[in-house]
Each structure stands twice: as structure tokens, then as C-alpha cells.
Amino acid sequence: MQALQEQARKLLEDQTVKVVIGYAPGSDEERARALFVRTPQQAEQLIFDQRCRQNLATYLLKPEVKALGRPAVVAGVATLRTILQYAVENQLQDQAVVALAVDGNGQVTTLSTFSQIEEYLATCPRGLTPEQEQELARIEQMSREERWAFWSQQLSRCLKCYACRAACPLCYCARCITEVNQPQWIPVAADPFGNLEWNVVRAMHLAGRCVDCGSCREACPEDIPIDLLNRLLARETLTHFGAAPGYSLRREYALAVFRPDDKEDFIR
Amino acid sequence: MAESAVVEAANRTAATSAFEPRIVAFVCNWCTYAGADLTGTSRIRYATNVRVLRLPCTGRIDFMLILQAFGQGADGVMVSGCHPGDCHYTAGNFHARRRWIVFRELLDFLGVDVRRICFSWVSAAEGAKWADLVNQFVQEIRALGPYREFPRRLPQLKPAEVC
């Protein structure tokens, strides 16, 4: 933690960055909130521990944050992957952001170019944790009727608050399909059809792009396991198309490219 | 009195008549639509349960169209276009194929009955294949019965009704 504060102070003092986006203690013991550090003195408020799960890269594309000047961002693996995915999607320019990568031991690495982030990520473990695998497998082992019952029950709690969208660093479209009302694709009301459609759309639009930060699940006030949908599609796009978003600058968006010999077994 | 007699008669008809699947087909303009046209001009008789909707290309067939069809009461949905390599726009069907692979996995994971979606390639020369495919799919949906568990889309105001 001290190393992080020290590094943040240094970056602000020598004017390398104008703002450090990090975490500060939240409203209770279990929460952390985002903190925008703009003076070297404020750097001592920064923390980094188990509570710091929000993906701070979400702020990088906001016009009001861009207006603050060059930012540094406190980053775990998911946040670093987000930055590379932004690069692939032409949303960030190289060296526009400094990443303060913090690993499990509190070691801080300052990464100021995309290729440095790429090299750093190459050393990080990839793939799902055994718990994540199990959570997916538990649903996949159900019969179709059970799966439908499970998800109908889960999605019936959806309030259509779009907190998942707000928390997601890759849901950055200026005009989301939910706002399109001529025609109204996704019903405004939180009804079973609209809830299903919204969650399918969200998952589909993130297929092959999701960096598995889990911010959507964290943000959901109803604790619907929506991250499972993203994780499933991350696994499928990896198996079918070799998509590994956020690990490489050269990787293209899996659903925007194709191979003539893509394999499927259901088209008649 | 008269009204209840009408309702009664309607109920009687519904109870006695067999289930007729309602199927929506999203097809591409260049291959499957032309193929279905050929089925007609070849005087091939096939099931009348399918409503064909023509789109420029399978690449244009957004997955939301499929959800909307189910949400508005379809029992089955067909999606069909040019064979790989034959796309009028060179690569629309290759992109569509990738999307279908992902979309189908997602629906299956959610417990949506993916047997009710028929993806196919039907060229402009395959009028007979289209007839066989529709007949086959109607039979499959008839066996599965009406898709009652899928949530219906709530009725929307028509533009003229919105002030």
C-alpha cells in the first residue's frame, strides 16, 4: 500500500500525470470506492486490498475524466486487460494512460505504454479459477428445463437499472440499443421478455470483448449472476475462435472477423 | 349472451383443432428467398406454417429479431441464407455463422429451447431442399408443441397512438 501511495505521489509531483484514479475506503468495512487523487498530498488516502474489486478503467473514457488531464490508474489484471482492449478498439492512444499495476503481494509496477502492459500480462496466470469453472459446470449439468427455471427465476429480479452497463468498462457506446426507441427494441418495463432480451443483448455485445473483471455482478443490486453469461461466452469464443480479449494488441474482435472453415454442427 | 356463445365456439374450435405451429423464417434476399421462390414456381407443395421475412443478407439478421419472433408468439424460427462462399456481399454469412455459434450457446445455457431454431443454408437452386426443410421443421415443432414458456412481449403503443 505504501509503495502505491509513494508511486502515486511521485507521478503527481513530477507532473507525469494530472490525476491518479485509485481506491479509498468506502462507506463500510466491506467496501472501497473510487478516489480521484489530484494533489500529491491526497495520495496517502489510497488503499489496495481485497475490497478493491471495481474496474477503474471504466472511468478512462468518460469525457469529464478525460478533461482532468493524463490519468494514472490503479490496476489489477482485469483493468490492464481493459486498457489493452480499449487500445484494440481504438478508444485509447498509446501512453495516454499510466497503469499502476498492483499484484497479489502489493508490488507496484508502473506501466506507461501498451507494450509494457502486454509484457506484464504475459506473465500473469490466465483462464478461469476452479470455483468459476464449477459455477458454470453446475448450470451446464442441469437439464434444459432446470436451466430455464433457474434463469427465469434469476432474471425475474432484474430491475432494468442498467447498473451492470454503467459498471462495465466495455459498455461504452454513446447510444446503447436500450435507448433506441424507434423501434423500441428492448421494452422499458422490467417484464420477463424485456429482462431476458436485455441480458441476452448485454452478453452478446460483450462476447469476445469481456475481460472478466466481474464488475457487472458486483454492481447488480439484485445479485443476479450475470457475469456467468459473459464467462460462458468468453469460454466459447476462446474455444471456437481463439479469442483472448485484452491480452494482445494484435488480436481482432472475434465477432468482426471470420475464418472460412469455422466449425459448427447445427446448420442444416 | 351472444358474446359468450362466440367465446364458447372459439374455445371448442381451439380444443378440437390440432396445434398448428407458427413459424417465422428470416431469409436472405439472394439465396434462400430465391430458393423459396423456386419452390413455388416448381409447384412443390409444402407446409403453410411458415411466414417468410426477407432481409438483404444473413449478416443483417440480428439475433434480436429471433428473440422478437419468439416474444411475439412464434413456436419456431428458421434462419437461412447462402452457402458459405456464395454470399452476395462476399462474407455476410461467415460473420452470421460466428454470431449464430455464440448466440446458440448462450440460449442453450439460458435454457431456451434451441431445437426451435433451425439454421440452414439454402441456395437459389435448392427449391426442393427448402420444401423438405420446412416440412421437416414443422413436423419437429408440431412434436414439441406450442412454445408457451417463452415470455411474451408486452403490447406496445403504435406510433399513431403516441402523442
Bridge-partner residues for A32, per DSSP? Answer: A25
Alpha-carbon distance A164 to nearest alpha carbon in chain B (angstroms) = 18
Categorize the per-residue pLDDT at B113 as very low, low, confident or very high, splitting at 50, 70 and 90: very high
Residues A115 and A189 in one domain: no
Residue B67, φ and ψ in degrees, nearest 5: -60, -40
Residues A134 and A94 in one domain: no
Let me know: does B153 contact B68? Beta carbons within 8 Å: yes
User: Strand A108-111 relative to strand A98-102: parallel, antiparallel, unpaired?
Assistant: antiparallel
Chain B residue at shortest CA distance from A235? B102
Alpha-carbon distance A125 to nearest alpha carbon in chain B (angstroms) = 25
Question: Which residues in chain A are contacts of B72 at CB distance < 8 A?
Answer: none
How is chain B split into domains, by residue range? Answer: 20-144
Question: Which residues in chain A are contacts of B153 at CB distance < 8 A?
Answer: 187, 193-194
Distance of alpha carbon A186 from alpha carbon B26, whole angstroms: 20
By Cβ distance, the residue of A151, A201, A208 closest to B64 is A201
Gap between the terminal Cα atoms of chain A: 58
Residues A117 and A13 in one domain: yes
In this predicted model, what pLDDT tens digit does every residue of A84-124 receive, in sequence order? 999 999 999 999 999 999 988 889 999 999 999 999 999 98
Let me know: does A178 contact A195? Beta carbons within 8 Å: no
Residues A149 and A115 in one domain: no
Compute the count of residue pairs across chains A and B with CB atoms less than 8 Å apart.
115
A268 within domain boundaries: no
Let me know: does A121 contact A247? Beta carbons within 8 Å: yes
Burial of B134 (0-12, 13-18, 19+ CB in 10 A): buried
In this predicted model, what pLDDT tens digit does every residue of A13-45 receive, in sequence order? 999 999 999 999 999 888 899 999 999 999 999
Question: Which residues in chain A are contacts of B91 at CB distance < 8 A?
Answer: 258
C-alpha cell at B143: 412434436
Distance of alpha carbon A173 from alpha carbon A90, whole angstroms: 13
Question: Which residues in chain A are contacts of B100 at CB distance < 8 A?
Answer: 264, 266-267
Distance of alpha carbon B45 from alpha carbon A36, whole angstroms: 70
Residues A8 and A104 in one domain: yes
A224 within domain boundaries: yes
Residues A28 and A139 in one domain: no
In this predicted model, what pLDDT tens digit does every residue of A129-139 receive, in sequence order? 899 999 999 99
pLDDT at B20 over 90: yes
Residues A149 and A227 in one domain: yes
Let me know: does A162 contact A209? Beta carbons within 8 Å: no
> How many domains are there within chain A?
2
Residues A106 and A182 in one domain: no
In this predicted model, what pLDDT tens digit does every residue of B60-104 receive, in sequence order? 999 999 999 999 999 999 999 999 999 999 999 999 999 999 999
Q: Do A260 and B94 touch (CB under 8 A)?
A: yes
In this predicted model, what pLDDT tens digit does every residue of A248-267 receive, in sequence order? 888 788 999 999 999 999 99
| Domain B20-144 CATH (choose: 3.40.50.300, 3.40.50.960, 3.30.479.30, 3.20.20.70) | 3.40.50.960
Q: Which ipTM was obtained for this model?
A: 0.91
DSSP A156-176: TT-----HHHHH-TT---SS-
By Cβ distance, the residue of B99, B107, B153 closest to A255 is B99
Sorted by sequence, the CB contacts under 8 Å of residue B96 that are 6+ apart come out as B57, B58, B59, B61, B81
pLDDT at B158 over 90: no
Let me know: does A136 contact A236? Beta carbons within 8 Å: no
Q: Do A203 and B156 touch (CB under 8 A)?
A: no
Categorize the per-residue pLDDT at B1 as very low, low, confident or very high, splitting at 50, 70 and 90: very low
A207 within domain boundaries: yes
In this predicted model, what pLDDT tens digit does every residue of B130-146 receive, in sequence order? 999 999 999 999 999 99
By Cβ distance, the residue of B97, B102, B156 closest to A207 is B102
A247 within domain boundaries: no
pLDDT at A11 over 70: yes
Question: Which residues in chain B are contacts of A138 at CB distance < 8 A?
Answer: none
The whole-chain average pLDDT of chain A stands at 93
Kindly report the CATH number assigned to the domain that includes residue A187: 1.10.1060
In this predicted model, what pLDDT tens digit does every residue of A155-187 receive, in sequence order? 999 999 999 999 999 999 989 999 988 888 888
Chain A residue at shortest CA distance from B98? A255
Give the structural domain span for A50: 2-122
Let me know: does A61 contact A24? Beta carbons within 8 Å: no
Residues A107 and A157 in one domain: no
Residues A78 and A19 in one domain: yes
Residues A93 and A154 in one domain: no
Q: Do A237 and B102 touch (CB under 8 A)?
A: yes
